[in-house]
């Protein structure tokens, strides 16, 4: 069994319900700025604590510009560098680095640096992004990373994915694609030291493998005092340093929601995390993933395992398959006032999500459930319902109660879906809670719930 944490960077400012029922911060923008400074420190401490308590993974998200405090994690790799410096065992994963927002060469360097610095504990999470505010600011202008054009976004994602793998695994990177030409064809590089090395017997590569060398130059460049620019010599490939410690590269993860994303991950040997959806969505995602993996020939990044089937749901020995995360709150270690703040904060996260996708879709609500919520929230027929906490509990998105009750619900999910092993990612924070309160929930899970599950399922 594998257990991890999911830290989304929820604000610690007080929350309240607006007149329309939506949960918002009861704080000024200045206070929210100050809160995010503390949240970043809390995120790092939470990751270090997870290592101390023997959990397997820490997942940090990437999110930007979120005004109302549901999620903030502007640089998960940088935060995990700080965690790596203070830990020895926990694997460091992002959920995820949103590829359409990144230069893939820089991302290859940064992720590999985390793997080197952590002695091979990095696991790299990838995503496509869904928030226009983030995507248009960070991706659309430069790399076509808009989420307003889903097909273009997917092509950008897949091209950057190819570049990332090549940068991690090939001695020199050269790439000519629809969105990237690495290096650009006009990159002059009359570098005499590089030329001397590539012509020496120490190098297994020749000048022609890397450079288009032009000794003579032309009327526009000849005689330049800048030797690099003194001829029409160009560089055609570049070495990307460092490369990861893990061979051939770290395990990849991505959030999986739509059948198309699930199938792409399975077909490319990428592990998936089933994001915050109802219990009823778990089994269909697992089935889609395994059908696609089987059809693709059970791909694995490691040659020794490529083509070999792995256990259903999650294979602890192979470290392959699917995990899922759930909001968890243990009432044994908190008073009623804290629990009420957790409930409100959980609703705040779902109000944030439902601004992008309807709660009816996200929660897989039946007609009767929609009508129940509409009645509770006093809504007209043309208004979208909100995901209140009672419905989040009913759908097992939020798992609350005593240690035993939490463990029983997780065990029931494992049995209902049919997971061979279990990979559960605990989400212990919510908007309006302090970092210390989230740490208390993490500790209770590690010390009370995790041992119960390990005893209940010793084979896993």
Report pLDDT for 371: 92
**252 in any annotated domain:** yes
The answer for residues whose C-beta is within 8 angstroms of residue 351's C-beta and 6 or more apart is 22, 23, 70, 386, 387
Considering the domain architecture, whether residues 64 and 137 belong to the same structural domain is answered as yes
For the stretch 399-405, contacts whose Cβ atoms lie closer than 8 Å and that sit 24 or more positions apart, written own/partner, are 399/326, 399/327, 399/328, 399/329, 400/328, 400/329, 400/330, 400/331, 400/339, 400/342, 401/330, 401/331, 402/330, 402/331, 402/332, 403/330, 403/332, 403/444, 403/448, 403/449, 403/452, 404/452
* Domain limit, last residue, from 235, 262, 277: 235
Q: Tokens standing for 160?
A: 């950057």
Supply the range of the domain harboring residue 72. 2-172+247-338+397-456
In a domain, 155, yes or no: yes
Same domain, 215 and 260: no
> For position 357, what pLDDT does the model report?
81
Statement to judge: residues 295 and 403 lie in one domain: yes
User: Do 296 and 423 belong to one domain?
Assistant: yes
Whether 167 and 286 share a structural domain? yes
Count how many Cα atoms sit within 13 Å of the Cα of residue 290 in the half-sphere of its side chain. Answer: 18
Q: Are residues 261 and 154 in the same domain?
A: yes
Last residue of a domain, one of 235, 255, 274: 235
In terms of domains, do 147 and 295 share one? yes
Q: Please tell me the predicted confidence (pLDDT) of residue 460.
A: 53
146, 188: one domain: no
Cβ neighbours of residue 106 closer than 8 Å, sequence gap 6 or more: none
Residue 364, in any domain of the structure: no
Residue 353 included in any domain: no
Please tell me the distance from the alpha carbon of residue 356 to that of residue 129, in angstroms, as a whole number.
12
CA angle 446, 438, 64 (to 5 degrees): 120
- pLDDT per 10-residue tile (average), the chain, 460 residues: 97 96 97 98 98 98 95 97 98 96 96 98 95 86 77 93 98 96 95 97 98 84 80 95 98 94 97 91 96 98 97 96 97 98 96 86 90 90 90 96 98 96 97 98 98 84
Non-local CB neighbours of 293 within 8 Å, separated by 6+ positions:
266, 267, 299, 310
Looking at the domain assignment, is residue 381 inside a domain? no
> Domain for residue 308, yes or no?
yes
Contact between residue 314 and residue 285 where contact means Cβ atoms under 8 Å apart? no
Question: Do residue 25 and residue 119 come from a single domain?
Answer: yes
Asked if residue 348 belongs to a domain, the reply is no
* Lookup: tokens for 139: 């991706």
Does residue 208 share a domain with residue 74? no
Total structural domains in the chain?
A: 2
CATH of the domain at 143: 3.20.20.30
Residues 208 and 293 reside in one and the same domain: no
Question: What DSSP assignment string belongs to 351-420?
Answer: HHHHTTS-HHHHTT--HHHHHHHHHHTT--TTSPPP--HHHHHHTTSEEEESHHHHHHHHHHHHHHHT-S
273 and 196 belong to one structural domain: no
Count of alpha carbons within 13 angstroms of residue 353, beta-carbon side = 19
**What is residue 341's DSSP assignment?**
H
Length of the chain: 460
Torsion of CA 75, 355, 322, 150, to 10 degrees: -80
Task: Give a yes or no: residue 378 inside a domain.
Answer: no
């Amino acid at each position: 069994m594998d257990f991890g944490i999911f830290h989304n960077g929820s604000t610690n400012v007080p929350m309240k319900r607006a007149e329309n029922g939506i949960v918002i911060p009861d704080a000024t923008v200045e206070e929210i700025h100050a809160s995010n400074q503390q949240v970043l420190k809390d995120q790092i401490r939470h990751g270090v604590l997870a290592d101390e308590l023997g959990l397997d993974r820490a997942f940090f998200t990437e999110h930007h510009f979120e005004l109302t405090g549901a999620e903030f994690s502007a640089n998960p790799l940088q935060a995990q560098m700080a965690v790596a410096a203070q830990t020895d065992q926990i694997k460091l994963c992002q959920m995820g680095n949103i590829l359409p927002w990144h230069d893939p060469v820089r991302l290859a360097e940064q992720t590999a640096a985390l793997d080197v610095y952590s002695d091979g504990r990095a696991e790299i999470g990838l995503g496509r992004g869904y928030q226009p505010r983030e995507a248009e600011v960070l991706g659309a202008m430069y790399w076509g990373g808009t989420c307003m054009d889903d097909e273009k976004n997917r092509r950008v994602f897949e091209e950057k994915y190819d570049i990332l793998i090549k940068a991690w695994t090939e001695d020199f990177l050269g790439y000519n694609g629809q969105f990237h030409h690495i290096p650009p064809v006009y990159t002059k590089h009359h570098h005499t030291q590089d030329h001397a090395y590539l012509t020496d017997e120490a190098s297994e590569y020749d000048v022609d493998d890397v450079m288009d060398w032009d000794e003579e130059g032309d009327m526009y460049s000849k005689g330049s005092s800048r030797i690099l620019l003194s001829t029409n010599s160009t560089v055609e490939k570049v070495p990307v340093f460092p490369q990861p410690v893990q061979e051939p590269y770290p395990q990849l993860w991505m959030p999986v929601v739509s059948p198309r994303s699930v199938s792409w991950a399975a077909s490319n040997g990428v592990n998936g995390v089933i994001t915050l959806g109802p219990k009823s969505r778990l089994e269909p995602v697992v089935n889609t993933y395994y059908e696609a993996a089987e059809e693709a020939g059970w791909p694995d990044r490691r040659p020794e395992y490529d083509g070999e089937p792995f256990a259903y749901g999650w294979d602890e020995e192979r470290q392959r398959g699917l995990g899922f995360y759930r909001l968890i709150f243990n009432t044994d270690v908190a008073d009623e006032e804290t629990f009420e703040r957790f409930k409100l904060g959980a609703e705040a996260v779902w109000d944030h999500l439902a601004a992008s996708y309807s709660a009816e879709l996200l929660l897989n609500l039946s007609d009767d459930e929609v009508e129940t919520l509409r009645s509770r929230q006093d809504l007209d027929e043309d208004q979208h319902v909100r995901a209140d906490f009672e419905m989040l509990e009913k759908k097992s998105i939020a798992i609350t109660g005593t240690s035993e009750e939490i463990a029983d619900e997780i065990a029931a999910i494992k049995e209902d879906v049919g997971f061979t092993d279990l990979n559960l990612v605990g989400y212990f924070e919510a908007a309006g809670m302090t970092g210390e309160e989230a740490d208390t929930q993490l500790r209770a899970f590690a010390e009370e719930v995790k041992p119960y599950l390990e005893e209940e399922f010793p084979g896993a």
